[in-house]
């Protein structure tokens, strides 16, 4: 049932990216992961999530005051973009057909065994920038130490810090089977517009 | 069903992994033409510069090759195909039956005729064996010339320089990366190479190479140059010397349909060995890059397993880090009168961006220094989106927000 849902999205856009190995794993285990849902109607562009992410997940000191003084400045993995009127928090969308995973020649990008999250093992990263070249959401940061860095949904922690810190509830951490279809569309790399919830995307 | 996969590069291995995931116990035969376990070709120059160790090259899980449903052959090649009996012959004399065959044999380095002399001081760069030979040579030190200014040549130059050698790049055209960049962008990359101690000579024609007193002597059209060894980086041509007697046709590379099936029944092809559709140029060409090889491998496997999916092409693209200066080039990057060009440059920060539009569609981009938005631009080119505010795409921030709303 879940698999046939997935299959519907095999062809999206002009590249016809086949949903890769990961889909098949989902078929076997019939579970789906949690992902961050962005509700743009609620985002006021305060960038609290950026500060929290940069401090807790990226900075060396993990302390807000000290993090500001660090050089290089810690780069948040979530980027709150704006067109002047509306705000759009952008981070890794955890694509099922993850182009970054397909492009990485070093084995640094992998899917976690139990939770199916796309993460980067920095020790293996050689800084070839293949992943930056193919991520349709421009969600990968180039660190000064010549490593690629991106949101891992705080996989190795209790809860995503951005979701935790968002004062308006614009970021939600939801189970995929809460609303399967919506998340499915959102997790496909070739579908820029549909990964957020809000007035433009009902 | 018996699946035979010829070649264990990213195309072949990903096809095998995908078949294994897709079907219950498929019988997979993998034929690796190289004398070492499957590894990542792209990592070899990082290995040469001592950034990683040999064990890091082997990125695939070794247990896969020991699985009961996987027959893995190392250091043997497919020598012929018998399409009537549906068998392939491999170089140890063995005959292997197939129901579906995948050709993923990649390419072999081109050797210009002038380099075909009997000398053990001229190296090609493709396999781990090549890299290991060069590695032994480096330990002695000295001076190296690199023939060709393509991506692999620049990666080699960087690795050899970082190992302390004197490196000179000899290029027949007027610029580095002539297949990848326009002249202006190429100048920035050349400057970065020169700043880091690499010598670049353009417009060079090599007339003759001789070996004399343990040195290579290169006679050029104007003058000559001496070196301890030479590296050839002149691109690759597809490995197709075993397809005689089949209907498979080859132009730049093997011709396939959208399902990556060749003209011969039950034979598929993927990776550097095929030619594919380039969306930016709107024509078929060789697009020899890793991400395509992976995606084509997966696509071919799916079709071989009976689940039809299409591969409708990609754009040419390259990413490389030149002495800590990142570069990404996408699609059609040419100073042509019919293309509209938008540019941004910040010399202090070493940032440079150039976008190429055909009417209202983005067809190409060069990003140097600040490469963060590359993937987003790539998606615009691939999806052939209409772009109204072109200048906006040069900005470092808010590109997605500007585009989505
Ligand atoms: C030094 C270097 C750096 C590179 N850097 C990049 C980069 O940064 N980005 C990028 O996108 N690409 C890069 N590439 C190119 C990339 O490695 C190739 O596009 C990719 O490996 C192609 O994969 P493939 O599976 O089609 O073929 P290959 O990787 O070439 O694998 C084909 C295999 O088939 C074997 N074979 C040949 N003939 C036979 C036969 N008759 N029978 C059985 N086996 C056979 C070959 O020995 C080889 O092992 C680089 C290449 C090199 C050499
Ligand atoms: S959004 Fe980008 S980084 Fe995240 S999985 Fe997709 S391609 Fe990879
Ligand atoms: S930059 Fe690192 S993570 Fe990205 S593709 Fe290269 S090795 Fe993989």
Does the C-beta of A118 come closer than 6 Å to ligand 3? no
The answer as to whether A139 is a domain residue is yes
pLDDT, position A186: 54
The answer as to whether A57 is a domain residue is no
Mean pLDDT of the B378-386 span: 90
The answer as to whether A12 is a domain residue is yes
The phi, psi pair for B122, rounded to 5°, reads: -120, 125
- Neighboring chain B residues of A135 at a CB cutoff of 8 Å: 375-376
pLDDT at A102 over 90: yes
pLDDT digits (tens, 9 = 90+) for B186-223: 999 999 999 999 999 999 999 999 999 889 999 999 99
The answer as to whether A69 is a domain residue is no
Higher-confidence residue: A163 or A112? A163
Ligand 3 centroid, distance to A59 Cα (angstroms)? 20
**Is-contact B41 B33, C-beta < 8 A?**
no
pLDDT, position A148: 98
Residue nearest to atom 7 of ligand 3 (CA): A125
pLDDT at B21 over 60: yes
DSSP characters over A31-98: ---EEEEEETTT-----HHHHHIIIIII-SS--HHHHHH-SSPPPPSSEEEE-SS-EEEE-----TT-
With residue B366 as reference, give the H or E element that holds it: strand B361-368
**Is-contact B109 B307, C-beta < 8 A?**
no
The answer as to whether A66 is a domain residue is no
pLDDT, position B134: 95
Mean pLDDT of the A52-57 span: 95
Closest residue of chain A to B23, computed from CA coordinates: A24
For residue B143, what are the CA distances in angstroms to A133, B31, B34, B164, B227?
Answer: 34, 37, 29, 9, 5
Interface contact B295, partner A, CB < 8 A: yes
Higher-confidence residue: B242 or B395? B242
Ligand 3 centroid, distance to A146 Cα (angstroms)? 10
Contact at CB, B279 and A133, closer than 8 angstroms: no
> How far, in Å, CA of A180 to CA of B310, rounded?
25
pLDDT, position A109: 97
Parent domain of A150: 3-49+78-195
Q: Which two tokens stand for residue B241?
A: 């010397």
**Is-contact B367 B353, C-beta < 8 A?**
yes
**Is-contact B32 B72, C-beta < 8 A?**
yes
Does the C-beta of B368 come closer than 6 Å to ligand 1? no
Higher-confidence residue: B398 or B25? B25
Interface contact B26, partner A, CB < 8 A: no
Of B372, B362, B258, B381, nearest to B315 (Cα)? B381
CATH number at residue A107: 3.30.70.20
pLDDT, position B213: 87
The phi, psi pair for A89, rounded to 5°, reads: -70, 125
Q: Which of A20, A86, A141 sits opposite B298 (nearest CB)?
A: A20
User: Distance from CA of residue B181 to its chain's centroid?
Assistant: 16
User: Distance from CA of residue B383 to its chain's centroid?
Assistant: 23
Q: Count Cβ atoms within 10 A of the Cβ of residue B122 and give its class: 0-12 exposed, 13-18 middle, 19 or more buried.
A: buried
The answer as to whether A73 is a domain residue is no
pLDDT at B233 over 50: yes
Mean pLDDT of the A23-49 span: 71
> Which regions of B120-221 does DSSP assign to beta strands (E)?
122-124, 143-147, 166-170, 198-201, 206-212, 215-220
pLDDT digits (tens, 9 = 90+) for B3-12: 999 999 999 9
Spell out the residues 6+ positions from residue A148 whose beta carbon is closer than 8 angstroms to its own: A108, A120, A122, A125, A127, A129, A131, A132, A140, A141, A142
pLDDT at A68 over 70: yes
The answer as to whether A58 is a domain residue is no
pLDDT digits (tens, 9 = 90+) for A154-202: 988 889 999 999 999 999 888 765 554 455 555 666 655 555 555 444 3
pLDDT, position A164: 94
In three-state secondary structure terms, B163 is coil
Share the mean pLDDT of chain B: 95
pLDDT at B284 over 80: yes
Of B20, B54, B21, nearest to B40 (Cα)? B54
**Is-contact B271 B278, C-beta < 8 A?**
no
Higher-confidence residue: A84 or A70? A70
Least confident of A16-25, A149-158, B183-192: A16-25
Does the C-beta of B128 come closer than 6 Å to ligand 1? no
The CA dihedral of B82, B86, B92, B94, to the nearest 10 degrees, is: -130
Ligand 3 centroid, distance to A70 Cα (angstroms)? 24
pTM for the whole structure? 0.92
Higher-confidence residue: B25 or A6? B25
Contact at CB, B372 and A11, closer than 8 angstroms: no
CA angle B213/B218/B219 to nearest 5° reads 120
The answer as to whether A55 is a domain residue is no
Q: Which two tokens stand for residue B6?
A: 């010829």
pLDDT at A27 over 50: no
- ipTM value, please give it: 0.94
- Least Cα separation, residue B398 to chain A (angstroms): 5
> How far, in Å, CA of B197 to CA of B246, rounded?
50
pLDDT digits (tens, 9 = 90+) for A129-147: 999 999 999 999 999 999 9
pLDDT digits (tens, 9 = 90+) for B358-372: 999 999 999 999 999
Q: Sorting pLDDT into bands at 50, 70 and 90, what band is B400?
A: confident
With residue B63 as reference, give the H or E element that holds it: helix B63-66
> How far, in Å, CA of B180 to CA of A151, rounded?
31
Best of A17, A33, A88, A95 for a ligand 2 pocket test (most atoms within 8 Å of beta carbon): A95
Does the C-beta of B152 come closer than 6 Å to ligand 1? yes
Of A199, A158, A198, nearest to A38 (Cα)? A198
Least confident of A39-48, A186-195, B15-24, B85-94: A186-195
Domains in chain A, number: 1
Q: Sorting pLDDT into bands at 50, 70 and 90, what band is B404?
A: low
> How far, in Å, CA of B39 to CA of A112, rounded?
22
pLDDT digits (tens, 9 = 90+) for B135-188: 998 877 799 999 999 999 999 999 999 999 999 999 999 999 999 999 999 999
Contact at CB, B372 and A132, closer than 8 angstroms: yes
pLDDT, position B232: 95
- Percent of all residues in chain B with a pLDDT value above 70, rounded to a whole number: 100
Does the C-beta of B150 come closer than 6 Å to ligand 1? no
pLDDT digits (tens, 9 = 90+) for B87-128: 999 999 999 999 999 999 999 999 888 888 888 899 999 999
pLDDT at A19 over 60: no
The phi, psi pair for A50, rounded to 5°, reads: -60, -50
Query: What does DSSP assign to residue B274?
Result: B
pLDDT at A114 over 70: yes
> How far, in Å, CA of B96 to CA of B84, rounded?
13
């Amino acid at each position: 049932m879940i698999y046939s849902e997935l299959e519907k999205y095999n062809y999206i856009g002009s590249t016809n990216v086949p949903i890769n190995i990961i889909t098949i794993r989902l078929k076997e285990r019939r579970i789906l992961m949690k992902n961050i849902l962005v509700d743009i109607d609620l985002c006021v562009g305060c960038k609290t999530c950026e500060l929290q992410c940069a401090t807790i997940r990226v900075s060396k000191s993990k302390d807000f005051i000290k993090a500001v003084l660090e050089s290089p400045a810690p780069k948040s993995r979530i980027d709150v973009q704006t067109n002047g009127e509306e705000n759009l928090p952008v981070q890794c969308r955890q694509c099922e057909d993850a182009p970054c995973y397909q492009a990485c020649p070093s084995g640094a990008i992998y899917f976690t065994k139990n939770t199916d999250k796309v993460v980067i093992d920095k020790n293996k990263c050689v800084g070839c920038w293949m992943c930056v070249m193919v991520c349709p959401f421009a969600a990968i940061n180039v660190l000064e130490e010549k490593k690629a860095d991106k949101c891992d949904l705080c996989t190795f922690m209790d809860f995503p810090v951005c979701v935790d810190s968002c004062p308006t509830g614009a970021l939600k951490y939801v189970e995929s089977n809460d609303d399967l279809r919506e998340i499915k569309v959102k997790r496909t790399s070739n579908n820029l517009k549909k990964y957020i919830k809000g007035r433009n995307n009902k | 069903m018996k699946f035979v996969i010829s070649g264990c590069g990213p195309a072949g291995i990903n096809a095998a992994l995908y078949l294994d995931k897709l079907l219950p116990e498929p019988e997979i035969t993998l034929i690796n033409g190289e004398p070492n376990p499957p590894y990542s070709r792209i990592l070899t120059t990082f290995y040469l510069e001592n950034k990683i160790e040999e064990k890091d090259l082997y990125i695939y899980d070794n247990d896969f090759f020991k699985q009961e449903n996987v027959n893995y052959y190392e250091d043997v090649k497919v020598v012929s195909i018998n399409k009537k009996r549906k068998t392939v012959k491999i170089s140890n004399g063995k005959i292997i039956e197939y129901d579906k065959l995948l050709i993923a044999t990649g390419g072999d380095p081109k050797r210009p005729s002038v380099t075909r002399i009997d000398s053990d001081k001229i190296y090609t760069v493709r396999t781990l064996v090549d890299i290991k030979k060069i590695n032994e040579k480096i330990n002695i030190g000295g001076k190296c010339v690199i023939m060709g200014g393509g991506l692999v040549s620049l990666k080699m130059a960087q690795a050899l320089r970082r190992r302390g050698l004197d490196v000179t790049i000899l290029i027949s055209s007027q610029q580095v990366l002539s297949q990848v960049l326009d002249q202006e962008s190429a100048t920035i990359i050349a400057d970065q190479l020169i700043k880091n101690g690499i010598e670049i000579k353009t417009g060079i024609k090599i007339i003759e190479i001789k070996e004399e007193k343990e040195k290579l002597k290169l006679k050029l059209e104007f003058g000559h140059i001496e070196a301890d060894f030479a590296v050839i980086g002149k691109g690759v041509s597809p490995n197709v010397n075993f397809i005689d007697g089949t209907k498979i046709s080859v132009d730049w590379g093997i011709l396939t349909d959208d399902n990556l099936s060749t003209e011969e029944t039950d034979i598929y092809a993927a990776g550097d060995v095929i030619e594919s559709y380039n969306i930016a140029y709107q024509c078929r060409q060789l697009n020899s890059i890793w991400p395509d090889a992976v995606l084509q491998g997966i696509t071919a496997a799916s079709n071989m397993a009976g689940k039809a999916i299409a591969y409708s092409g990609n754009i040419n693209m390259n990413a490389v880090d030149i002495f800590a200066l990142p570069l990404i080039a996408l699609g059609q990057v040419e100073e042509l009168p019919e293309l509209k060009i938008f540019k941004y440059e910040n010399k202090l920060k070493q940032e440079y961006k150039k976008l190429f539009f055909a009417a209202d569609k983005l067809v190409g981009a060069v990003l140097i220094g600040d490469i963060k938005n590359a993937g987003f631009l790539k998606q615009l080119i691939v999806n052939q989106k209409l772009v109204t505010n072109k200048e906006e795409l040069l900005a470092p921030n808010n590109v997605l927000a500007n585009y989505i709303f």
